[in-house]
């Protein structure tokens, strides 16, 4: 996954073959914001412009720009995986929740550094 960061905000970058341009989508916002550029320098400049427009609109309307996350979500897994998780967690003296948090943290850090 290709990511770009500006002012603490992150965007996912994809190539749009139809336009022969790169498209960025700013992630974690309370609304949608995207931008286009032909190269990294142009993409970064358009990212900043798009972000500023989004933040200005949020300020005018009294909207929080970042999406709020509760820290809770439901995860459905197979009974077999649930059993394996429970056994590993018990063997390590941890809760399933702690084990899952550690795994998700490792995965998201690894994914972030690949882009």
**Residue 11 and residue 56 in one domain:** yes
User: Is 21 domain-assigned?
Assistant: yes
Decide if 10 contacts 4 (C-beta within 8 A): yes
User: Is 67 domain-assigned?
Assistant: no
Q: What is the pTM of this model?
A: 0.74
Interatomic CA distance for residues 34 and 94, integer angstroms: 41
Dump pLDDT digits (tens) for 37-65. 999 999 999 999 999 999 999 999 999 99
Question: CA separation (Å) from 30 to 21, 23, 85?
Answer: 25, 19, 34
Interatomic CA distance for residues 47 and 41, integer angstroms: 10
Q: How many domains does the chain divide into?
A: 2
DSSP 94: -
**Residue 49 and residue 11 in one domain:** yes
**Residue 43 and residue 87 in one domain:** no
Dump pLDDT digits (tens) for 60-113. 999 999 999 899 989 999 999 999 999 999 999 999 999 999 999 999 888 766
Dump pLDDT digits (tens) for 13-30. 999 999 999 999 999 999
Structural domain span for residue 85? 79-114
Interatomic CA distance for residues 65 and 69, integer angstroms: 13
């Amino acid at each position: 996954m290709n990511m770009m960061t500006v002012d603490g905000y992150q965007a996912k970058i994809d190539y749009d073959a139809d336009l022969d341009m790169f498209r960025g989508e700013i992630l974690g916002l309370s609304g949608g914001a995207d931008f286009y550029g032909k190269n990294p320098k142009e993409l970064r400049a358009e990212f900043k412009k798009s972000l500023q427009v989004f933040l200005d609109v949020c300020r005018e309307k009294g909207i929080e720009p970042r999406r709020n996350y509760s820290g809770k979500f439901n995860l459905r897994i197979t009974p077999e995986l649930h059993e394996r998780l429970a056994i590993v967690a018990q063997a390590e003296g941890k809760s399933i929740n702690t084990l899952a948090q550690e795994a998700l943290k490792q995965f998201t850090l690894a994914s972030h550094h690949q882009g």
